[in-house]
A and B are shown apart, each in its own frame.
Chain A
Amino acid sequence: MPEFRFDSIADFFAMGGYGFYVWVSYGFFAVVMGFNLWLPYRQRANTLRLLQARQLRQHGQAGIESDLRQQQDAQQQQGEAH
Chain B
Amino acid sequence: MTTGFVPWLARATFLLLGIGLVWGLGFAPPDYQMGDNYRIIYIHVPTASGAIWIYAMMAVMAAMHMIWNIKVADMVAKSCALIGASFCAVALVTGAFWGKPTWGTYWIWDAKLTATLILFFVYVGVMALRSAFDSDTAASKAASVLTLVGVVNLPIIYYAAYWWNTLHQRSSELGVRDASANPPEIWIPAVFSGFGLIGLIFVIIILHTRNEILLRERRAQWVQELVQQETDNA
Count residues on chain B whose CB falls below 8 Å from chain A CBs: 47
Q: Name B87-131 residues within 8 Å CB distance of A.
A: 89-90, 93-94, 97-98, 100-101
* Docked complex Cα distance between A18 and B94 (Å): 13
| Residues A40 and B204 in contact in the complex (CB < 8 Å), given A4-B27, A51-B214 | yes
A-B contact pairs, 20 of them (CB 8 A): A12-B25, A15-B36, A15-B39, A16-B37, A18-B35, A21-B37, A21-B40, A25-B98, A29-B43, A29-B94, A32-B89, A33-B86, A35-B86, A37-B200, A41-B207, A51-B215, A51-B223, A55-B227, A55-B231, A64-B224
A residues near B (Cβ < 8 Å) are 2-6, 12, 15-18, 21-22, 24-26, 28-29, 32-33, 35-37, 39-41, 43-44, 47-48, 50-52, 54-55, 64-65, 67-68, 71
Whether A2 and B27, one on each chain, are in contact in the complex, defined by CB atoms closer than 8 angstroms, is: yes
Q: Which of B30, B44, B204, B224 has the most CB of A within 10 A?
A: B224
Whether B200 and A33, one on each chain, are in contact in the complex, defined by CB atoms closer than 8 angstroms, is: yes
Knowing that A22-B36, A67-B224 touch, tell me 19 more A-B residue pairs with CB under 8 angstroms.
A3-B27, A4-B26, A5-B26, A5-B28, A6-B26, A16-B30, A22-B25, A22-B37, A22-B97, A28-B90, A29-B94, A33-B200, A44-B210, A44-B214, A48-B227, A55-B231, A64-B224, A68-B221, A68-B224
